[in-house]
């Protein structure tokens, strides 16, 4: 392994340049205006795969999807096959954030500052592409072979919900057949502490539309007579306010899997403090946590359901006039946990919000996008032990098993499709990464350790007796 680690150290500047080349491509998938760049990003990823030594690199598609870059190396007979996932599409950069100075360097130019690498996509998720390819190259450039078989897929529409991904997996089932899944799109709970994520919340999003009239009316003529749709919508949404208790939706917690005493003890043994959480989240002075009374942030974000208003529209402030508004709408995002059923959650929230609307306004509530199921696994077994040993060798600390409040919807279905393949979700971000936000960044030291960890992981998996990963 020392030759691999030496290669990674010697070629670190080249790997940084590879990442810089990737983030320079504005592969924004969310606005439909950067399709050329998304295509360019996939081609560049494919070229970097080829340069690292992967074989049969190609661009794949499914049902008119954005491009997927794929490459493989399958010359280790009898050894496990590792499926590596990352994505090359990114969130947009809003000009208002640039103009306001919230980006402290060019968001499309990888910039080193204070031990971190800043750029859109630096952490989410282009650094994962480079880390995986760096680990692969560390073997192929020093030994000429890998200790495992590798299949690597880099998606181009993760930031828009991966609507074609499960269809892709079905279409290319034989091509992607593997024994272990490795995803580097989660976080370490703090810088320097390697983390393996074993649970993810799911998502159910509802679109709530309120209508009170067929047209807007001058507020001097109709104010106080015509029901204000915007105000009615906010009355409806305010029903979700939970103060510091459980969400007030009837029977919402009936199926929520309780935390075990062991899980509670483990969560409370992890690092974290109110001061640090407030700083990481940017909470203003005087604003209290919204957690349940005596609730812990890890309990709340990893294993408790949550509801967030992620968008609301009635009219724009810039174009406002003195009118009573006849229509308003909002998106309500529900993060769901084991063992909640997505359809049941939708039905419960719909019925609760739609009951007894103010002034009798018309309320329409529909699903917005596809439901994403929660996922949870047992973080034990040969593959997980191989990952823990790999991360300890690189970070010098025992890895911790953590939950994640976010969602990666394909993990559970893909693991099932591959016959219960262990899914290893290894951290690449950290609480300061600001994924999806201004000044997105990657901790360069942890990134280097992740590359070394992946190299150790390949070696450890290749050494498993009879290649048994579970």
**Does residue 296 sit within a domain?**
no
Q: Is the pLDDT of residue 161 over 90?
A: no
- Please tell me whether residues 82 and 160 are part of one structural domain: yes
CA dihedral angle for residue 459, residue 461, residue 464, residue 470, rounded to 10 degrees: 170
The total of other beta-carbon atoms located within 10 Å of residue 437's CB is 15
**Does residue 120 sit within a domain?**
yes
Q: Is the pLDDT of residue 294 over 90?
A: no
pLDDT band for position 94 (cuts 50, 70, 90): very high
Q: Which of 343, 367, 391 is the last residue of a domain?
A: 367
Q: Is the pLDDT of residue 359 over 90?
A: yes
Give the SS3 label for residue 298.
helix
- Please tell me whether residues 244 and 325 are part of one structural domain: yes
Q: Is the pLDDT of residue 230 over 90?
A: yes
Give the whole-angstrom CA distance, residue 27 versus residue 23: 8
Q: Is the pLDDT of residue 448 over 90?
A: yes
**Does residue 392 sit within a domain?**
yes
- Please tell me whether residues 227 and 245 are part of one structural domain: yes
Q: Which of 367, 392, 412 is the last residue of a domain?
A: 367
Per the prediction, the chain carries an average pLDDT of 96
Residue 150: φ, ψ to 5° = -135, 135
Q: Is the pLDDT of residue 70 over 90?
A: yes
- Please tell me whether residues 127 and 108 are part of one structural domain: yes
pLDDT band for position 280 (cuts 50, 70, 90): confident
Give the whole-angstrom CA distance, residue 164 versus residue 210: 31
**Does residue 261 sit within a domain?**
no
Rounded to a whole number of angstroms, the CA Rg of the chain reads 24
32 vs 46: which has the higher pLDDT: 46
pLDDT band for position 366 (cuts 50, 70, 90): very high
Residue 81: φ, ψ to 5° = -105, 125
- Please tell me whether residues 398 and 449 are part of one structural domain: yes
pLDDT band for position 9 (cuts 50, 70, 90): very high
- Please tell me whether residues 96 and 211 are part of one structural domain: no
- Please tell me whether residues 334 and 215 are part of one structural domain: yes
Give the distance, in angstroms, between the CA of residue 103 and the centroid of all CA atoms in the same chain: 21
- Please tell me whether residues 163 and 218 are part of one structural domain: no
Q: Which of 367, 400, 415 is the last residue of a domain?
A: 367
pLDDT band for position 50 (cuts 50, 70, 90): very high
pTM here is: 0.91
**Mean pLDDT, rounded, for 385-410:** 95
- Please tell me whether residues 310 and 167 are part of one structural domain: no
Structure tokens at 389: 């040993």
**Does residue 298 sit within a domain?**
no
Helix (H) / strand (E) element for 449: namely helix 444-462
Q: Is the peptide bond before 342 cis (omega within 30 degrees of 0)?
A: no
Give the SS3 label for residue 53.
coil
Give the whole-angstrom CA distance, residue 58 versus residue 80: 22
**Does residue 362 sit within a domain?**
yes
- Please tell me whether residues 224 and 343 are part of one structural domain: yes
Give the whole-angstrom CA distance, residue 428 versus residue 448: 10
**For position 87, what pLDDT does the model report?**
96
133, 17 contact by CB (below 8 A): no
**Mean pLDDT, rounded, for 201-224:** 95
| CATH number of the CATH domain containing 252 | 3.30.70.360
The total of other beta-carbon atoms located within 10 Å of residue 463's CB is 12
| CATH number of the CATH domain containing 415 | 3.40.630.10
Of 40, 54, 190, the residue nearest 132 (C-alpha): 54
> pLDDT exceeding 70 applies to what percent of the chain?
100
Q: Is the pLDDT of residue 133 over 90?
A: yes
Of 221, 202, 159, the residue nearest 30 (C-alpha): 159
**Does residue 42 sit within a domain?**
yes
Residues across the chain: 470
Q: Is the pLDDT of residue 171 over 90?
A: yes
- Please tell me whether residues 10 and 156 are part of one structural domain: yes
In the chain, the N- to C-terminal Cα span, in Å, equals 24
pLDDT band for position 174 (cuts 50, 70, 90): very high
Residue 396: φ, ψ to 5° = 75, 15
**Mean pLDDT, rounded, for 199-223:** 95
pLDDT band for position 163 (cuts 50, 70, 90): confident
Q: Is the peptide bond before 339 cis (omega within 30 degrees of 0)?
A: yes
Give the whole-angstrom CA distance, residue 419 versus residue 433: 34
**For position 319, what pLDDT does the model report?**
85
The total of other beta-carbon atoms located within 10 Å of residue 348's CB is 20
For the chain, the domain total comes to 2
**For position 38, what pLDDT does the model report?**
97
Q: Is the pLDDT of residue 318 over 90?
A: no
**Does residue 452 sit within a domain?**
yes
Give the whole-angstrom CA distance, residue 162 versus residue 43: 19
- Please tell me whether residues 18 and 113 are part of one structural domain: yes
Residue-range definition of the domain harbouring residue 126: 2-200+374-467
């Amino acid at each position: 392994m020392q030759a691999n680690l030496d290669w990674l150290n010697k070629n670190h500047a080249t790997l940084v340049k590879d990442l810089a080349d990737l983030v320079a491509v504005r592969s924004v998938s969310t606005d439909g205006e950067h399709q050329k760049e998304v295509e360019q990003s996939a081609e560049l990823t494919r070229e970097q795969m080829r340069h690292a030594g992967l074989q049969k690199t190609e661009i794949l598609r499914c049902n008119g999807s954005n491009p997927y870059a794929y490459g493989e190396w399958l010359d280790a007979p009898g050894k496990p096959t590792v499926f590596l996932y990352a994505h090359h599409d990114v969130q947009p950069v809003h000009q208002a954030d640039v103009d306001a100075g919230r980006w402290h360097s060019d968001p499309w130019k990888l910039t080193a500052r204070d031990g971190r690498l800043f750029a859109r996509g630096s952490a989410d998720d282009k650094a994962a592409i480079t880390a995986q390819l760096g680990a692969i190259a560390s073997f192929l450039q020093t030994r000429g072979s890998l200790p495992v078989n590798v299949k690597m897929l880099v998606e181009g529409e993760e930031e828009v919900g991966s609507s074609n991904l499960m269809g892709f997996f079905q279409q290319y089932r034989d091509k992607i057949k593997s024994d272990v899944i490795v995803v580097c799109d989660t976080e370490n709970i703090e810088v320097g502490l390697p983390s393996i994520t074993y649970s993810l919340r799911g998502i159910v999003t509802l679109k709530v539309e309120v209508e009170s009239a067929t047209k807007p009316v001058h507020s001097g003529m109709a104010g106080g007579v015509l029901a204000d749709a915007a105000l009615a919508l906010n009355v409806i949404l305010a029903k979700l306010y939970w103060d510091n208790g459980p969400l007030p939706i009837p029977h919402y917690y009936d199926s929520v899997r309780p935390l075990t005493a062991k899980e509670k003890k483990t969560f409370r043994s992890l690092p974290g403090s109110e001061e640090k959480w407030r700083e990481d989240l940017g909470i203003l002075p005087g604003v209290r946590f919204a957690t349940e009374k005596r609730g812990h942030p890890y309990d709340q974000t990893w294993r408790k359901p949550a509801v967030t208003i992620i968008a609301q529209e009635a009219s724009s402030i810039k174009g406002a006039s003195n009118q009573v508004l006849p229509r308003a709408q909002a998106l309500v995002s529900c993060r769901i946990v084991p063992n909640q059923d997505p359809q049941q959650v939708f039905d419960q929230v719909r019925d609760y919000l739609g009951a007894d609307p103010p002034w009798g306004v018309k309320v329409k509530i529909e699903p917005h996008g596809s439901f994403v199921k929660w996922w949870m696994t047992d973080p034990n077994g040969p593959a997980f032990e191989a990952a823990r040993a790999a991360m300890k060798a690189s970070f010098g600390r025992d890895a911790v098993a953590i939950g994640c409040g976010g969602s990666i919807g394909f993990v559970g279905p893909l693991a099932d499709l591959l016959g219960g393949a262990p899914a290893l979700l290894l951290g690449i971000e950290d609480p300061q990464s600001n994924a999806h936000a201004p000044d997105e960044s990657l901790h360069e030291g942890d990134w280097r350790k992740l590359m070394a960890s992946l190299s150790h992981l390949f070696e450890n998996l290749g050494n498993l007796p009879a290649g048994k990963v579970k």
